[in-house]
Structure 1
C-alpha cells in the first residue's frame, strides 16, 4: 500500500470517528500530508475551555518515518516548545521509537492525554517542567492564563 493510500485510510478513520474533543481536516485538499488538528482542552485539565490548533505533518516516507506534531496555538506546557514552532515532545514520535504500525489516531490521542497529564521527565521546556514538579499551583495558574489568552474562543 502506498504512503498516500495509507494516509487517506487513516484520515478517513480519524475524521469519521475522531478522538473525543478533536476535529481533523486537511489544510489543503490537494495534500494529504498536512493535517490540521483542532483540539479542545480536556475538561479535567488546566487547559479546559481552550481550543488548540495543531499541525500534523507526515513525511513522504510515512509510515516508516514518524509524523511531526506542532502546536500552532501557544500553550504553557513542559512537553511543547515555547517558540514559534510549538514542537511537541512525544516518545512515540522520535525516529528511534516510531514503529510503522503506529496509527495517527494514537498520536492524536497521546497529544490529548499529555494535556491531561504532562510528562515533566521528558520535557522540551525544562523550566516549565521544574515548575510543574516544584510549584504545581503556579504552573496551573500560568497554564490557565495562557489558555485564556491564546486559546480562548475568538
Structure 2
C-alpha cells in the first residue's frame, strides 16, 4: 500500500491517539475497520445542560481531501437544535462554522477564520459540537433548523421541554 492518501495518515494518528487516551465527554470508533474515512462518535451529554446524561450517537465522514476540506458530522440520535438539520438528506447534520469549507462565506455570516482550517483536529471538532450543545441559548442567526430557531426565540421554555423529551425518549 505505497500510495497511502495523506488524509489516512493524519486520521490514523488521530484515531490511535483518541483510542489510547479516551476523553471524558466523547468516544470514537470506526464504522468499518477497513475505512478510516467513516467514524462513529458517541457524545456523552454535558453536565448542567439540556443534554445531561444523554448518550448521543453521531458519524463523522471525512472527504478524501481531508484535512484540506472539513468532514461532515451527522447525529444518528434524533436532535432538536437550531444548528442541526431536522429533515431531508441533511437530517442530523451539524451546521457550525468550523465544519464549513474554508474561505469567505458567500452570505457574510462568518469570517474566513471561523471556518474550516486544516489545523483543526477531530478533538477540536467534537469539543466545538459539545460547546454548541452546552449553550443555554443556541445561536439562531443562520439556523439549519428554522423551526427550532423560531422556538428558541419565541418559546425558550417550550424549546427546552422538547429537547429534554426527545433526549429522554432515546
Normalised TM-score (structure 1)? 0.90
Normalised TM-score (structure 2)? 0.82
| Cα distance in structure 1, aligned partners of 2:13 and 2:152 | 38
Shift of residue 129 of structure 1? 1.0
| Cα distance in structure 1, aligned partners of 2:24 and 2:134 | 13
What stretches of structure 2 of length at least 5 have no aligned partner? 103-114
When residues 120 and 13 of structure 1 are mapped into structure 2, their CA distance, relative to the original with a 3 A threshold, is farther
**Partner of 2:98 in structure 1?**
92
SS at match of 1:28: coil
| Cα distance in structure 2, aligned partners of 1:87 and 1:123 | 12
What stretches of structure 1 of length at least 5 have no aligned partner? none
Which deviates the most, 16-25 or 48-57? Answer: 16-25
When residues 57 and 140 of structure 1 are mapped into structure 2, their CA distance, relative to the original with a 3 A threshold, is same
How many residues are matched? Answer: 150
Match 2:122 to one of 104, 117, 126:
104
| Cα distance in structure 1, aligned partners of 2:59 and 2:9 | 20
> What are the residue-to-residue correspondences of 1:50-65 with 2, within 5 Å?
50-65=54-69
| Cα distance in structure 2, aligned partners of 1:90 and 1:125 | 12
**Partner of 1:133 in structure 2?**
153
- Whichever of the two has the greater Rg, that structure is 2
When residues 27 and 129 of structure 1 are mapped into structure 2, their CA distance, relative to the original with a 3 A threshold, is same
| Cα distance in structure 2, aligned partners of 1:46 and 1:103 | 26
Match 1:21 to one of 15, 25, 29:
25
Match 1:115 to one of 116, 133, 141:
133
- 1:26-63 deviation line (CA, Å, top 9, x unaligned): 11111111000001111211111211100000001100
Query: Which runs of at least 4 in structure 1 moved beyond 6 Å after TM superposition?
Result: none
| Cα distance in structure 2, aligned partners of 1:122 and 1:19 | 30
- 1:66-104 deviation line (CA, Å, top 9, x unaligned): 000000110111111112631110101110321111111
Shift of residue 13 of structure 1? 2.2
